[in-house]
Amino acid sequence: MKIGVPLETRAGEARVASTPEVIKKLVAKGFEVLVERGAGVRAGYPDADYESVGARLTDRAGAYDSDLLLKVRRPEAADVAAMCPGGIYIGLMEACGEDEMAAAMRAKGIRVLAMERMPRTSRAQSMDVLSSQANIAGYRAVIEAAARYGRFFPMMMTSAGSAKPARLVVLGVGVAGLQAIATARRLGAEVFAYDVRPETREQILSLGAKPIDLDLGESGAGTGGYAKELSDEAKARQQAALADQLAKAHVIITTAQIPCRPAPVLVTEAVVQRLRPGSVIVDLAAAGGGNCPLTVADQVVERHGVVIVGHTNYPSMVAADASAFYAKNLFNLIEIMVDKGDAGPVLKDLSKDDITQAMLG
């Protein structure tokens, strides 16, 4: 059984779907692994490292001529055209519901295992790329904020005077938000956090941050660990109640997203106008419209003296570790997909496993 790992061609994408460490394990299981030349270079994995663990270097067509195609980003039309009929695509689809790429793959008899459809269960946790990549995004967002904030994060005391710690607010306490809290605390900031789901309060406290408690008249707890969209009345109460808390902040990191819905507005322009000049907002929801209406996706802008960061691919900024996490997620998935046969791995019936059945598109 052949596994293909092509070069990611999306602008700004430096990750690769598998790493030499993981490919060594795949080869040991009997897979033939074909890696497009240069696929891992931007993530810090040279071709020689892949060759040394038993992968075969090939051109783009060779990588796509495989039974299992491993990718990070959503395929484009040229990718689908190059895929082997009857094969299996494993990677992100970055779509809500039906879309033309999924339809085109099905027309070629290609089965799609969309990684964002991974069920949120304990058994699937080691395969959850959304969590592994969000973890990296939360870390990198704090580093971005610290680099752009013109003052210290921790309290600093010197013979020349002292500086108070930065007051940092994290909005949205999912995987990215929790990592942002932990990273900001390690850097010495005074951290506050807010989430519409009341069960996150204990998690905030466990990381040494202070929860922002608001009475909205309803809970934002959704299914699968995600937040649900609030009513219009609750949204209005939320914005009004948050305004005073946010106006005191020096750094705001927003992570609030609702799957397949526009990101909720949490930091209004009126709040931005109240922030101290030089303050920083890092909006991790920029791809979904942003938690701040002044955010511009994939740009860093200054509005009312406040720096607003709208990067949409933080994991790619930490490409080596992001790729390593992603590759291990995919390896754990592949392990439950195959049995050991006399001539190598044998594919199981994907419709009979609760994880792969949920992922099939």
Catalytic residue among 125, 126, 219, 239: 125
Please state the rounded mean pLDDT for residues 144-156. Answer: 96
Domain-wise residue ranges, the chain: 2-128+318-359, 149-313
Cα 322–chain centre separation: 9
**pTM: predicted TM-score of the whole model, two decimal places:** 0.92
Catalytic residue among 10, 148, 151, 226: 226
pLDDT at 361 over 80: no
Report residue 119's pLDDT band, with 50, 70 and 90 as the boundaries: very high
Rounded to 5, what percent of the chain is helix, strand, coil?
A: 40, 20, 40
CA 286/CA 7 separation, integer angstroms:
26
The per-residue pLDDT for range 230-250, each reduced to its tens digit, is: 677 877 787 788 999 999 999
Cα 315–chain centre separation: 6
Catalytic residue among 128, 195, 283, 321: 128
The per-residue pLDDT for range 79-114, each reduced to its tens digit, is: 999 999 999 999 999 988 678 999 999 999 999 999
List, in sequence order, every residue forming a beta bridge with 227; answer none if it has no partner.
Answer: 221
Please name the CATH architecture into which domain 149-313 falls.
3-Layer(aba) Sandwich (3.40)
Residue 162 appears among annotated catalytic residues: no
- In eight-state DSSP terms, residue 127 is G
Considering only CA atoms, give the Rg of the chain: 22
pLDDT at 319 over 60: yes
Question: Where does residue 26 rank: exposed (0-12), middle (13-18), buried (19+ CB within 10 A)?
Answer: buried
Instruction: Give the other-Cβ count within 10 Å of 108's Cβ.
Output: 13
pLDDT at 224 over 70: no
Report residue 218's pLDDT band, with 50, 70 and 90 as the boundaries: low
- HEC-encoded secondary structure of 173-186: CCHHHHHHHHHHHH
Q: Across the chain, which distance is largest between two alpha carbons, in Å?
A: 73
User: Are residues 329 and 339 in contact, defined by beta-carbon separation less than 8 angstroms?
Assistant: no
pLDDT at 217 over 70: no
Intrachain domains 2-128+318-359 and 149-313 with the same fold: yes
The CA–CA distances, whole Å, from 341 to 1, 39, 110, 297 equal: 11, 30, 23, 48
Residue 120 appears among annotated catalytic residues: yes
Please state the rounded mean pLDDT for residues 204-231. Answer: 75
Report residue 303's pLDDT band, with 50, 70 and 90 as the boundaries: very high
User: Are residues 340 and 346 in contact, defined by beta-carbon separation less than 8 angstroms?
Assistant: yes
pLDDT at 220 over 80: no
Residues in the chain: 361
Mean pLDDT check: name the lowest of 59-73, 205-219, 250-264, 300-314. 205-219
3-state secondary structure at position 280: strand
Q: Give the DSSP letter string of 161-226.
A: EEEPPPEEEEE--SHHHHHHHHHHHHTT-EEEEE-SSGGGHHHHHHTT-EE-----SS--B-STT-
Of residues 262 and 217, more confidence is placed in 262
* Mean pLDDT rounded to a whole number for the chain: 94
Phi-psi region of 198 (alpha: psi -120 to 50; beta: other; left: phi over 0): alpha
Catalytic residue among 60, 66, 111, 131: 131
Residues 208, 211, 213: CA angle, nearest 5 degrees: 165
Q: Please give the pLDDT value at position 232.
A: 78
Determine the CATH number of domain 2-128+318-359: 3.40.50.720
Q: Please give the pLDDT value at position 18.
A: 98
List, in sequence order, every residue forming a beta bridge with 4; answer none if it has no partner.
Answer: 34, 69
Report residue 225's pLDDT band, with 50, 70 and 90 as the boundaries: low
Report residue 258's pLDDT band, with 50, 70 and 90 as the boundaries: confident
Residue with tokens 């964002």: 116
